[in-house]
Amino acid sequence: MNLDIVILAAGKGTRMGSPLPKVLANLAGRPMLDHVLESVSQLKKIKLHVVVGHEAQMVRKTFSDNKKINWIKQTKQLGTGHAVKQALKHIRSNSNVVILYGDVPLISENTISKLTKLASKGPALLTFNKDNPTGYGRIIRSSRNKIEAIIEEKDASPSEKQITEVNSGIMAFKAKELSRLIGKIKKNNKAREFYLTDTVREAYLEKLNIQSLRLSDMDEVLGCNTPEDLQLLEKAYHLSTAKKFLNKGVSFADIEKVKFRGSVSIEKGAFIDENVIFEGSVSIEANAKIGPGCIISNSTIGKNAELLPYTFVEESKLENNTKAGPFAHVGIQTKLEAGAEIGNFVETKRSNIGANSKAKHLAYIGDGRIGKGVNIGAGTIFCNYDGVKKHITKIEDDAFIGSNSALVAPLTIGRKSYVGSGSVVTKNVGKGQLAIGRGRQKNMLNRKK
């Protein structure tokens, strides 16, 4: 079955109080519209249309990498029916059509698929029940429970306003039926707009078999008109994402205290503590443990690895059975090989730390190439920057670096060599050698004042 997706994204969003178009408002680290595009990307045989209006060029530029989008300009915003009408000439005649909204970002691929199947029988509506339905279009049903119409809040009578089944705005049609029904609607309402919902009344008059899919979880159709709405969406997004992982065997200390700001993968058996933030592209492998307050950005955490509290990992890879923290900063382009450990107040950048090597306390490792089984003592500094260029320090297997040492790059420290505590090392150290680079100690007699 061919499927045409029409996403309405032309609104200005005045109440958002932002110069950005509403669909570009940030939700969990991404524009709202991006969440909708992600959901539809999983569907097959689709043609994707996005109707834009306010700041159309800004919206198009934001998604310029997505070559599958057919951009459609709505010059005047005359209602949802008018917006869909702009897309009609681009829609395939033999397809089903689903109407989505750029400011309803949590709709799932599964729900879209179900609604699409219903549309093969007749116009299909996505509805839900709401205890306080103020502001929503009400679903009008006949005595036989057949849908007759959708009445918008502005046009509803007092009795109609008591109806709790409401319209989500998301609808699906056969393409030919949509084209015919859109042509019949008029703007004889208080807003003087062309309502897409009026197609339902026209479908009823044509005696079409109007379908409905009633959602049990209304978070999927939460819309956004104000900053407060955006906060509600943010909370709903993080909670629903955590629940998905919970149902796949991931453990959480508290699913309400984790943030997912990107594309996150977590394998079965992992444990996520409170106040953890995931940013960008993140992969957490099986049985990893992420301690409280950790931030992981564009990184991979391997099997059985452990991040102790308040550790920041960015653009790095921790292989299996590694450990970092507490209060560690695993900086950009760091790789910890299997069994490696960095401890409290250790910072790394552009460094490879070999299998079973350790830097447990108060060290800075910048542009390091560290072999296997190396020990980096407390207070050690890799002096990698000469004021103009960054230089590499290479430490070969099984070397031992004493505490409070300064390693001045470019430098190579050979296999099984030793650096005495408190040394400033400026020359290469050969295999098995002991390097001591510090001033001679002098003990003076006490002098009385």
Q: In the numeric block, which tokens belong to residue 2?
A: 């061919």
CB 350 within 8 A of CB 362: no
For strand 147-151 and strand 138-141, is the pairing parallel, antiparallel, or unpaired? antiparallel
Classify burial at 238, counting beta carbons within 10 Å of its beta carbon; exposed 0-12, middle 13-18, buried 19 or more.
Answer: buried
In angstroms, the CA 123 to CA 121 distance is 7
In residues, how long is the chain? 449
The answer to whether the Cα torsion of 160, 78, 83, 120 is positive or negative is positive
Task: Tell me whether the omega of the peptide bond preceding residue 410 falls within 30 degrees of 0, making it cis.
Answer: yes
Residue 329 falls in the annotated catalytic set? no
Task: Tell me whether the omega of the peptide bond preceding residue 326 falls within 30 degrees of 0, making it cis.
Answer: yes
SS3 118: helix
In angstroms, the CA 168 to CA 4 distance is 19
Catalytic hit among 35, 54, 361, 391: 361
- Planar angle of CA 397, 402, 406, nearest 5 degrees: 95
CB 106 within 8 A of CB 221: yes
In angstroms, the CA 351 to CA 336 distance is 8
Beta strands per DSSP E along 268-325: 271-272, 276-284, 289-290, 295-297, 300-301, 306-307, 312-314, 317-318, 323-324
In angstroms, the CA 445 to CA 28 distance is 66
Catalytic residues: 361
